[in-house]
Amino acid sequence: MATFLFDKIVFGPVTSRRLGVSLGINLLPVDSKLCSFDCIYCECGWTPGRRNPESMMPSRDLVREKLEEKLISMKSEGTMPDVITFAGNGEPTLHPEFASIIDDTIILRDEWAPEARIAVLSNATMLKNKSVFEALLRVEDNIQKLDSAFEDTIRLLDAPRGRFKLEEVVGQLCRFNGKVTIQTMFVKGSWKGHVVDNSTDREVDAWLKLVGKIGPGQVMIYTIARDTPAETLQKVSQEELEKIADKIRMAGFEVQVSG
């Protein structure tokens, strides 16, 4: 299936299923995906085995310049974003100046769009980095991925690149003391001869135990909305998502559902 890359540093605004009117920031190369995961459902396609040496991440100064230009333009048009979202072509916290860029974004938001939230969509693999962790505490919507309570399932769905230990990631998520949103993609299908389904009772019940341990301020659950690189995947139905959401509510957590 067709997938796509974001071809700008600042893109949108777009209407997000989960966040409202979202102005996106892509800290990764505009011509190549760069991620510590290789999720089989990623709308940006597969993560390249080797990084193209000509593919550059934007500098801190350039990100600040492009964001300020866009916010000034939007203010003059009278259309401000609900949220400024770090997403784009991979994992935003891989940018070596991520923490400083967050600081710049807070300053620009406060000046030009004081009612907008700042969100980061992350796969939680860089939480061991002190500056990244502390920067995430400074944003309103710290959204971290947790697709399963089973490492085998995560390796199938998310295909972490390099060292990955689920227990360590969960430990880092607990350190947020509730100032975190857990985001989970539920999918079905098959991949490389394996059944893919993290929506079963076994999966959901184990995952919910980890959610309880982490104690997030909110949980976001969703399913496929766009084309995926693995063509053997299917959406989880709205009815199934609502059943999962009911379990989350019964556990005492706020949940947002996007079918």
Local confidence pLDDT in tens for the 259 residues of the chain: 456 788 899 999 888 766 788 999 999 999 889 999 999 999 999 998 766 655 689 999 999 999 999 999 999 999 999 999 999 999 999 999 999 999 999 999 999 999 999 999 999 999 999 999 999 999 999 999 999 999 999 999 999 998 999 999 999 999 999 999 999 999 999 999 999 999 999 999 999 999 999 999 999 999 998 889 999 999 999 999 999 999 999 999 999 999 7
242 within domain boundaries: yes
User: What kind and span of H or E run contains 64?
Assistant: helix 60-77
4 within domain boundaries: no
**How many independent structural domains does the chain possess?**
1
Q: How far is CA 154 from the centre of its chain?
A: 15
What pLDDT shows up at residue 154?
97
Write the DSSP assignment of 228-247 as a string of letters. Answer: -SSTTEEEPPHHHHHHHHHH
204 within domain boundaries: yes
Contact yes or no for 217/172 (Cβ under 8 A) = no
Q: How many other CB atoms are there within 10 angstroms of residue 219's CB atom?
A: 24
What pLDDT shows up at residue 226?
85
Question: Virtual CA dihedral for 69, 73, 75, 77, nearest 10 degrees?
Answer: -170
CATH number at residue 104: 3.20.20.70
* Bridge partner list, 23: 84
Q: Which domain holds residue 71?
A: 10-258
36 within domain boundaries: yes
Q: Which residues of 35-47 are buried (b: 16+ CB within 10 A; e: fewer)?
A: bbbbbbbbbbbeb
Q: Where are the beta strands (DSSP E) in the chain?
A: 10-16, 20-26, 83-87, 117-122, 141-145, 181-185, 187-191, 194-197, 218-222, 233-235, 255-258
